[in-house]
Chains A and B, each alone.
Chain A
């Protein structure tokens, strides 16, 4: 079954430092990969996606992600973290019927 894994439950980073939230996916066909963010008591908001083409994908709020086929990874990155980036981040993969399979989520905490 197609799946994604987020190996870190929580990531802590100081404001102004670069941040990385990790995601790996199971090898099966050409993956369509997505990142979503969830702020407390809110729904999920779309950040960015990889469908095909350039391996470096740029998204909302200064986030980007790099698709790495050899390492089956799609890590989310931002050059300079903000306290307001603190939220729950989900990686997801498209499956049959355009269904999404989500990772378990990574809580990002950005501290002053």
Chain B
């Protein structure tokens, strides 16, 4: 099993450009999450999908959109990138049910100039 995979690993955007971060998991997990990690702030939840067909906002959703394409894939879109969105983005997934931990992907390092 590859676990949780993310593409791309690195990306540089100019202000105003758009892009989509891809995430896929092969563990048959129901729930998927997108976080951003900034120095001194831990990880903050952007959006999540409790199950296929549903998405909900997290703590910092402004400037982002998501699509739960199917059970395996959960993408994060930046429509008009801003320097404040420079961050490391992590995707995670977990099985349905109580008490399970989340499994994280390797991350995408995004720089917006």
> Chain A: residues with CB nearer than 8 A to chain B?
9, 32, 34, 36, 41-46, 49, 51, 90, 97-105
| Complex Cα gap A34–B43 (Å) | 14
B3-33: CB near A (< 8 Å → 1, else 0) gives: 0100000000000000000000000000101
Interface size class for chain B? Answer: 20 to 34
Contacting A at CB under 8 A, from B37-69, are 40-45, 48, 50, 56, 58
| Complex Cα gap A107–B105 (Å) | 20
> Chain B: residues with CB nearer than 8 A to chain A?
4, 31, 33, 40-45, 48, 50, 56, 58, 90, 92, 94, 98-107
Interchain CB contact under 8 A, A102 and B50: no
Interchain CB contact under 8 A, B48 and A97: yes
Q: Main SS of the interface on chain A?
A: mixed
| Complex Cα gap A90–B35 (Å) | 14
Interchain CB contact under 8 A, A98 and B31: yes
Question: How distant is B11 from chain A, measured CB to nearest CB, in Å?
Answer: 15
A90 neighbours in B (Cβ, 8 Å): 42-43
Interchain CB contact under 8 A, A46 and B42: no
A44 neighbours in B (Cβ, 8 Å): 43, 90, 92, 104
Interchain CB contact under 8 A, B41 and A104: yes
Q: Which chain A residue shows the least CB distance to B105?
A: A43
Interchain CB contact under 8 A, B42 and A42: no
Which 6 A/B pairs are nearest by Cβ-Cβ distance? A43-B104, A102-B42, A44-B104, A51-B99, A102-B43, A104-B42
Q: Which one of B41, B56, B58, B103 lies within 8 Å of A46 (CB-CB)? A: B103
Question: How distant is B56 from chain A, measured CB to nearest CB, in Å?
Answer: 7
Interchain CB contact under 8 A, B107 and A43: yes
